[in-house]
Amino acid sequence: MIDQATRAAPARPSALRRAAPALLGYAAVRALGLLTLAVWSAARGKSAYTLLTARWDSLWYARVAGGGYGYEVRLANGDVHSDLAFFPLLPWLERLLAAVAPLSYADAGFVVSLLASLAAAWGIFAVADHVYGHRDELPGPGTGGGRAGLFAVLLWAALPVGIVQSMAYSESLFTALAAWSLYCVLTGRWAGAGALALAAGLTRPVGLAVVAAVWTAAVLSFVRNRSTPRPHGARTGPHTPASAPRSPVHRVLGMLLAPLGAAGYVLWVGRRTGGGLFGYLDVQAGWRNGFDGGYAFARFVADKLTSFPSALAGLGLIAGVGLLVRLYVVGVRQGQPVPLLVYSGAITALALCASSYFGSKPRLLLPAFPLLLPLAAALARTRAARAALLVSGVALASALYGAFWLNGSGPP
């Protein structure tokens, strides 16, 4: 079983060199997806680049980058779509990049997404390598943390909606910040974890999942340290658990920093709208977004089952939710570190229990990469040729589905 306690990261000559195969593999999978999208879009007379940068949420982010907040659309049914629903970090970065380079805000969003997706892939590798980096923790022939990290990255790249990682959306940026915040938690870098959680909270509403992971890990660390006092005069060293720093100051700093991003933006929206603490929820209600415990999603699935062929889609949704639950349970049984379980559990719950935009749920689940770790560990125990064949097949299927999806309904 994987030790749930955080531990110091092992000294390595070059973290980037160790992650390089995973990053190259990630780039190859995403290049396949983009090439497939370009060919498919050209055959339909569409611009692949426009699909990636100038539709749906990317238009809202670019508008905020160019003119700040204050734009809204009033629909015939009385709904109000306000740009205050979109958190500010991505448009801030778009505005900054457009100011220093000859790029439009849409172009800047695309560049930010590409760079952030690579940072996310590296962060996912770092987390998987840290969790599975010791051979004695992952029994089986030919295993190793490098392989588990590699497959975690490749699986994340080859998700059915992996094309979103290359869009001018905030998913890649958020996943990068979340992954590195979790890595900092696992290695006892509390101030870094809190600062990255703060930034994640400025990126998407589910930044609260990162905050929850940081706070949970810090509280558990305090509890462990109180129950296992260090002998007088003991010194920290390379093998000292990261959860037992010499002083609690860094943990407290991390806990204080973590919620500032999300809380700051939500409070600012409440003040701007006059809605107080619930102002942001009112903005989301204008988009018919809310949290109903999954009731609306359950009704949506049930409606699919009432006729053919939509019943096949309903059965597919049920199977997909079952797979998510199964992967989470396997992660628990494998002893996945508690911060990862808290984070992925919160992401999954928030995605599945939202009351609207059912077609966007796969996209909302994109940052829940710890759910892929059990599959990555299984592939790490598989013969190299068989694992490569499996991943290649999944990557091709993802590229074809992404091109079909983005040329059709796509992410709302």
What are the pLDDT digits (tens) for 8-33? 444 444 788 899 999 999 999 999 99
The answer to whether residue 234 is domain-embedded is no
Rounded to an integer, what distance in angstroms lies between the CA atom of residue 347 and that of residue 367?
7
> How sure is the predictor about 229, in pLDDT bands with cuts at 50, 70 and 90?
low
Q: What are phi and psi of 137, to 5 degrees?
A: -95, -10
> How sure is the predictor about 410, in pLDDT bands with cuts at 50, 70 and 90?
confident
> How sure is the predictor about 233, in pLDDT bands with cuts at 50, 70 and 90?
very low
Q: What is the pLDDT of residue 202?
A: 98
Cα-Cα end-to-end distance for the chain: 40
Q: What is the pLDDT of residue 15?
A: 84
The answer to whether residue 321 is domain-embedded is yes
Q: Which two tokens stand for residue 396?
A: 């091709």
Span 218-234, mean pLDDT? 72
Chain centre distance of CA 149: 16
Span 336-360, mean pLDDT? 90
Q: What is the pLDDT of residue 146?
A: 82
Boundaries of domain holding 171:
17-73+81-228+245-406
Three-class SS state of 172: helix
SS3 content of the chain, % helix, strand, coil (to 5): 70, 0, 30
Three-class SS state of 73: strand
Proportion of the chain above pLDDT 70, given as a percent? 89
Q: Which two tokens stand for residue 148?
A: 């588990």
Mean pLDDT of the chain: 88
Span 34-39, mean pLDDT? 98
The answer to whether residue 10 is domain-embedded is no
Task: Answer whether residue 44 shows pLDDT above 70.
Answer: yes
DSSP labels, 132-166: H-SGGGS-STT--HHHHHHHHHHHHHTSTTGGGGG
Task: Answer whether residue 226 shows pLDDT above 90.
Answer: no
The answer to whether residue 208 is domain-embedded is yes
Span 324-331, mean pLDDT? 95
Per-residue pLDDT of 111-143, as tens digits, reads 999 999 999 999 999 999 999 876 434 444 334
Least confident of 5-9, 99-103, 120-124, 277-281: 5-9
Three-class SS state of 10: coil
The answer to whether residue 233 is domain-embedded is no
- Of 13 and 308, the one with more pLDDT: 308
The answer to whether residue 8 is domain-embedded is no
The answer to whether residue 335 is domain-embedded is yes
Task: Answer whether residue 239 shows pLDDT above 50.
Answer: no
Compute CA distances 182 → 215, 279, 336, whole Å.
Answer: 11, 29, 12
Three-class SS state of 72: strand
Span 36-42, mean pLDDT? 97
Q: What is the pLDDT of residue 231?
A: 52
Task: Answer whether residue 181 shows pLDDT above 50.
Answer: yes
Q: What is the pLDDT of residue 16?
A: 86
Rounded to an integer, what distance in angstroms lies between the CA atom of residue 296 and that of residue 72?
25
> How sure is the predictor about 312, in pLDDT bands with cuts at 50, 70 and 90?
confident
Task: Answer whether residue 145 shows pLDDT above 90.
Answer: no
Rounded to an integer, what distance in angstroms lies between the CA atom of residue 393 and that of residue 104?
36
Q: Which helix (H) or strand (E) holds 227?
A: helix 207-227
> How sure is the predictor about 155, in pLDDT bands with cuts at 50, 70 and 90?
very high
**pTM above 0.85?**
yes
> How sure is the predictor about 5, in pLDDT bands with cuts at 50, 70 and 90?
very low
Q: What is the pLDDT of residue 306?
A: 85
The answer to whether residue 6 is domain-embedded is no
Q: Tell me how many domains the chain contains.
A: 1
